């Protein structure tokens, strides 16, 4: 039996990060039944029950060290873990896990990571020193490869794949329809999904929330129903309610908490997705729902480009343009099959790239098998 440890941002209630963990554990089990999985988690009991894996409290230093010591391979991922945009402390945490694993002579793989920003001079030095010691690196964006190379990471080979969530399966349409019915969302008109998040660094402060309220009102006036789809619970629920409170028309809100396959199923019943959240866009791509992405982070910009889907504005550097967003939404509705065809072609490529993460992981597992 091979003991595998997943070190990521799990157990915090973020549907995107939970989608990554579910995809990873599902795919690893299917590929390698001789692997026993343990995950670091903020909420170990939730992680154990939800994914049927072992779980360790991520802030229990003694337990984390013990788990690393008993592991054969440590996966750092997925998601954007190696960055100091949130805090240097977060960066040091993940680097310390990698460094400890290598000191204990464990194999380490950066699995579908996002990288950056890493701005601090000392932080960049630490990333270079630590990451150059790992055994395999796969990244979910080309931008992350550029960041790692600019930092000075040159070994092992860096392979750009895609986010593991592209391999996730959703619940059935029938189940998703029941969730929409439970939430009181009517199906008498075309549905536009809205996924927003709080972002303190937005250009113009919280003005983007006012603009989104105006966009939603305009879409409703044009004959659509609008439904808000929170991804991080309860944070996105709260910011969705704030946008709704600014609206003049009636919108709908997914208020209950759902797991990633359920949220993906709900997204799959929409006609258009307008989202700040990366994984809502990925869910839409998997379900072939055309999208407009609101850029707040390079990862969102990257995936809009590779999927060849239009953007609804960049809150890093500009005010949202209500007229432009509504016009682009109407363009999509007017040429829906064209957008669906483009999205299907590009999403299929991303799904294949996401599967590459597991093929490369299996090469590492084979090395361990040969040495056992």
Query: pLDDT tens, position by position, for the chain (372 residues)?
Result: 999 999 999 999 999 999 999 999 999 999 999 999 999 999 999 999 999 999 999 999 999 999 999 999 999 988 899 999 888 999 999 999 999 999 999 999 999 999 999 999 999 999 999 999 999 999 999 999 999 999 999 988 899 999 999 999 999 999 999 999 999 999 999 999 999 999 999 999 999 999 999 999 999 999 999 999 999 999 999 999 999 999 999 999 999 999 999 999 999 999 999 999 999 999 999 999 999 999 999 999 999 999 999 999 999 999 999 999 999 999 999 999 999 999 999 999 999 999 999 999 999 999 999 988
Q: Where are the domains of the chain?
A: 2-160, 173-349
* Token digits of residue 249: 């028309």
Q: Please state whether 205 falls in left (phi above 0), alpha (psi between -120 and 50) or beta.
A: left
Q: Model pTM?
A: 0.96
Is the domain spanning 2-160 CATH 3.90.950.20? The answer is no
* Of the options 3.30.1360.10, 3.40.1010.20, 3.20.20.70, 3.40.50.2000, the CATH number for the domain spanning 173-349: 3.40.50.2000
Whether the domain at 2-160 and the domain at 173-349 fall into the same CATH topology: yes
Instruction: Find the angle CA(187)-CA(219)-CA(317) to the nearest 5 degrees.
Output: 130
């Amino acid at each position: 039996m091979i003991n595998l440890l997943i070190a990521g941002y799990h157990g915090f209630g973020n549907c995107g990060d939970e989608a990554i963990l579910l995809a990873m554990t599902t795919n690893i089990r299917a590929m390698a039944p001789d692997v026993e999985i343990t995950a670091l988690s903020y909420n170990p009991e939730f992680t154990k029950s939800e994914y049927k894996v072992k779980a360790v409290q991520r802030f229990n230093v003694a337990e984390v060290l013990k788990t690393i010591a008993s592991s054969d391979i440590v996966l750092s991922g997925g998601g954007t873990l190696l960055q100091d945009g949130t805090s240097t402390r977060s960066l040091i945490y993940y680097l310390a896990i990698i460094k400890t694993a290598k000191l204990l002579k464990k194999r380490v793989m950066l699995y579908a990571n996002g990288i950056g920003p890493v701005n601090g001079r000392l932080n960049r030095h630490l990333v270079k020193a630590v990451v150059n010691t790992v055994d395999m690196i796969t990244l979910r964006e080309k931008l992350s490869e550029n960041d790692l190379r600019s930092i000075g990471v040159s070994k092992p080979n860096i392979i750009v794949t895609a986010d593991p969530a592209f391999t996730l399966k959703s619940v059935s349409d029938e189940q998703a329809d029941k969730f929409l019915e439970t939430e009181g969302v009517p199906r008498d008109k075309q549905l536009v999904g809205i996924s927003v998040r709080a972002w303190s660094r937005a250009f113009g402060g919280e003005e983007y929330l006012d603009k989104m309220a105006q966009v939603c009102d305009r879409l409703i006036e044009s004959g659509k129903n609008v439904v808000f789809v929170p991804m991080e619970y309860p944070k996105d629920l709260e910011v969705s309610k704030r946008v709704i409170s600014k609206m003049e028309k009636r919108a709908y809100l997914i208020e209950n908490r759902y797991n990633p396959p359920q949220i993906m199923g709900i997204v799959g019943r929409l006609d258009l997705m307008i989202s700040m959240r990366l994984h809502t866009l990925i869910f839409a791509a998997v379900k072939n729902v055309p999208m407009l992405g609101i850029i707040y982070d390079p990862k969102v910009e990257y995936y809009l480009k590779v999927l060849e889907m239009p953007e609804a504005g960049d809150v890093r550097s500009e005010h949202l343009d209500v007229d432009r967003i509504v016009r682009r939404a109407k363009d999509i509705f007017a040429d829906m099959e064209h957008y669906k065809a483009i999205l299907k072609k590009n999403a299929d490529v991303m799904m294949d790239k996401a599967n590459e993460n597991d093929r490369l992981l299996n090469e590492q597992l084979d090395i361990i098998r040969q040495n056992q």
